[in-house]
C-alpha cells in the first residue's frame, strides 16, 4: 500500500541519510559559523542588545537519533531525513526582554531570506497547551550575499534561528534536560509543575519588560529636562553676549557630552562650575541628572538634597527627588490641565512672533510640562532656539524628532534644518533644500499658513541675530519657496 515504508526500507533510508550528512556536515558547520558572524557583527553595528548568541551544526549522532524518530502512529517521521530535517545548522539568540525578541525578529526578516517562521508558544496556546515558547525561523542567506563567491556554496543550504528570552531559555533547557533523562516520559505531577512554571515565567517576562520600559522612560525624561535647562542657559547667554565666541562655553560642552552619553565627563565639568559657584542650586540639579544617567542614583539623590538646602521649596528639585525615589517619570506635583497648556502655548506664540526667542522657549517648555503635544512642543522650541541664535540647541531638538515622510511635520523639520544651514553653510543649505523639495513632493497636504513655520516667519523681522547678506538671502529664498508650495 502507498505510504507504508517497510522496516528494511526505513533503515536503508536512514543509513543513506546519515552517510550524506556525514559527508556534507562541514558545510553546515561553516554555514552556522557564518550566520552567527553576520548576526554578531550586525548587532554590534546596530546596537541591538542580547544576552548570548550561540550556534552549532547538528552532530552525526544527534542527526541519527532524529532521523529514526517515529510519528504517533509509529510510522517514520522522515522519509528522506537528510533533505527533510531543517535544523542541521542552528543559531540561538537569547534576549533579555520580550521587546528585544521583536527587535531581533525584525532584524532577521530584513537580513535573511525567510523560508519558514513559527511562533511555537502561540501554536501551543492555540492547541490549548502551555510550555515551551520560542520563535523559530528557517532561513537562507539573502540573494545579494549568495552572489558573492565566498557564499555560493551555501546557496542550497538552510539554517534554523531560534529567538527567545533568558527566562524562556532557562525553562526550555531545564525541561529538555529532565525530559532527556526520562526516556519513558515525565510523571503527570511534574508535567503540571512545568506548565504552571511556564505561566509564571511569562508573567515575569512581562514584568521585566515593564520595568525596562519605565526605566527607559525615566532616563529619557531626565535627559530631555537636562538638555532643556542647558539650552535655556545657552540662549540666555546668546541674547546677552555681544561676542559670539563668548557663548561657546561649558554649557555647550556639557550639552554635547550629554548628547553622546559621556556622562562622567559632564559631571567633571559640573564639578568645576560648582567649585566656582557653590551657592548656585541649578548646578546641583544638573549634576544630579548627569549622575543618575551615569548610574549613580545615590549620588544623584545627594545632589538633589544639596539643591534643596539652597532652595527648600524649589519645584524642579522636588520633582526630581520624587522621580529618583519612585523610579517613575510621572510626578503628581506637576500635573496640569490641558487648558493651561493651551494658554501657555498661545503666550509662547506671541513671543515667537515678536522675535523674543528666550521667552518663547520658556513658555513652550512650560506648555509641554502642562501636557502640550511633544512633537509640536519640540518644533516650537527649536524655532525659539533659532530666534535666540542657539543653532546647536535647535539642531539637538530637531534630532530628537522622527521624520515621518508624507506628513506636514516632516516638511517643518526639514525646513528648519534649511534655516539653520542658511546661517552656517551655503553648501549644506543647498543639500537641505534638495531634501526639502523631495519632502514636499511626498506630502499632499502641507499648508504653510497652517504650519508652525508661519509663526517663525512673522518673528524674523524682529530678529536680533547678526547675519551676512548672503545668509539673509538664503532665508528669504527658503520662505519664498515653502510659502508657494501649498
Domain chopping of the chain, boundaries: 7-185, 192-315
3-state helix, strand, coil in the chain (%, to 5): 70, 10, 25
Q: What average pLDDT does range 433-439 have in this prediction?
A: 91
Q: If pLDDT is split at 50, 70 and 90, which confidence band does 247 have?
A: very low
Query: Does the pTM of the predicted model rise above 0.85?
Result: no
Residue-averaged pLDDT of the chain: 84
SS3 state of residue 113: strand
Residues in the chain: 486
> CA–CA separation, 446 vs 450, rounded Å?
8
Least confident stretch, 2-11, 237-246, 364-373: 237-246
Side-chain half-sphere CA neighbours of 34 within 13 A: 22
Beta carbons of 318 and 308 less than 8 angstroms apart:
yes
Asked if pLDDT for residue 184 goes beyond 60, the answer is: no
pLDDT at residue 74, rounded to an integer = 79
Please tell me which residue, 328 or 89, carries the higher pLDDT value: 89
> Domain 192-315 adopts which CATH fold?
1.25.40
Is the CATH number 1.10.4100.10 carried by domain 7-185? no
Name every residue whose Cβ is closer than 8 Å to that of residue 477 and which is 6 or more positions away in sequence: none
Using a 10 angstrom Cβ sphere, with 0-12 exposed, 13-18 middle and 19 or more buried, the burial of residue 290 is buried
- For the purposes of burial, counting CB atoms within 10 Å of the CB of 65, is it exposed (0-12), middle (13-18) or buried (19 or more)? exposed
Same fold? 7-185, 192-315? no
pLDDT tens digits, one per residue of 370-400: 878 888 889 999 999 998 888 888 998 998 8
Residue 245 confidence (pLDDT): 46
> What local confidence, expressed as pLDDT, does residue 179 receive?
63
**pLDDT at residue 239, as a whole number:** 57
Q: Is the pLDDT of residue 25 over 50?
A: yes
Amino acid at each position: 500500500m502507498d505510504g507504508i515504508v517497510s522496516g528494511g526500507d526505513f533503515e536503508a533510508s536512514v543509513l543513506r541519510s546519515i552517510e550524506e550528512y556525514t559527508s556534507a556536515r562541514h558545510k553546515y558547520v561553516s554555514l552556522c559559523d557564518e550566520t552567527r558572524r553576520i548576526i554578531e557583527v550586525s548587532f554590534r553595528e546596530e546596537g541591538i542588545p542580547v544576552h548570548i548568541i550561540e550556534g552549532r551544526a547538528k552532530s552525526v549522532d544527534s542527526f541519527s537519533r532524529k532521523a529514526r524518530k517515529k510519528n504517533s502512529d509509529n510510522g517514520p517521521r522522515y522519509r528522506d531525513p537528510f533533505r527533510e530535517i531543517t535544523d542541521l545548522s542552528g543559531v540561538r539568540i537569547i534576549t533579555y526582554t520580550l521587546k528585544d525578541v521583536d527587535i531581533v525578529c525584525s532584524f532577521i526578516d530584513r537580513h535573511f531570506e525567510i523560508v519558514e517562521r513559527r511562533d511555537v508558544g502561540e501554536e501551543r496556546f492555540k492547541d490549548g497547551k502551555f510550555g515551551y515558547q520560542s520563535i523559530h525561523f528557517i532561513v537562507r542567506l539573502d540573494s545579494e550575499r549568495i552572489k558573492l563567491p565566498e557564499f555560493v556554496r551555501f546557496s542550497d543550504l538552510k539554517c534554523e534561528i531560534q529567538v527567545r528570552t533568558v527566562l524562556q531559555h532557562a525553562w526550555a533547557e531545564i525541561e529538555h534536560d529532565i525530559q532527556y533523562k526520562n526516556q519513558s516520559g515525565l510523571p503527570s505531577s511534574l508535567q503540571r509543575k512545568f506548565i504552571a512554571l511556564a505561566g509564571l515565567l511569562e508573567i515575569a517576562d512581562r514584568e521585566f519588560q515593564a520595568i525596562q520600559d519605565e526605566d527607559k522612560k525615566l532616563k529619557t525624561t531626565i535627559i530631555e529636562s537636562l538638555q532643556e535647562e542647558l539650552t535655556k542657559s545657552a540662549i540666555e547667554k546668546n541674547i546677552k553676549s555681544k561676542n559670539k565666541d563668548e557663548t561657546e562655553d561649558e554649557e555647550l560642552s556639557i550639552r554635547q557630552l550629554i548628547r553622546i552619553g559621556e556622562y562622567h565627563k559632564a559631571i567633571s565639568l559640573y564639578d568645576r562650575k560648582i567649585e566656582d559657584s557653590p551657592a548656585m542650586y541649578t548646578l546641583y540639579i544638573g549634576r544630579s541628572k548627569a549622575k543618575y544617567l551615569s548610574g549613580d542614583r545615590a549620588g544623584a539623590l545627594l545632589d538633589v538634597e544639596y539643591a534643596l538646602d539652597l532652595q527648600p521649596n524649589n519645584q524642579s528639585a522636588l520633582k526630581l527627588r520624587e522621580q529618583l525615589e519612585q523610579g517613575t517619570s510621572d510626578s503628581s506635583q506637576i500635573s496640569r490641565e490641558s487648558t493651561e497648556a493651551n494658554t501657555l502655548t498661545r503666550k509662547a506664540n506671541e513671543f515667537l512672533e515678536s522675535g523674543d526667542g528666550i521667552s518663547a522657549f520658556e513658555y513652550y517648555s512650560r506648555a509641554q510640562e502642562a501636557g502640550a503635544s511633544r512633537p509640536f512642543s519640540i518644533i516650537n522650541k527649536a524655532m525659539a532656539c533659532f530666534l535666540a541664535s542657539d543653532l546647536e540647541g535647535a539642531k539637538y531638538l530637531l534630532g530628537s524628532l522622527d521624520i515621518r515622510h508624507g506628513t506636514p511635520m516632516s516638511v517643518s523639520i526639514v525646513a528648519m534644518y534649511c534655516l539653520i544651514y542658511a546661517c552656517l553653510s551655503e553648501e549644506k543649505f543647498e543639500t537641505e533644500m534638495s531634501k526639502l523639495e523631495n519632502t514636499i513632493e511626498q506630502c499632499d497636504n502641507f499648508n504653510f499658513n497652517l504650519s508652525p513655520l508661519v509663526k517663525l516667519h512673522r518673528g524674523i523681522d524682529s530678529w536680533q541675530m547678526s547675519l551676512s547678506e548672503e545668509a539673509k538671502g538664503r532665508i528669504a529664498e527658503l520662505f519664498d519657496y515653502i510659502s508657494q508650495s501649498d
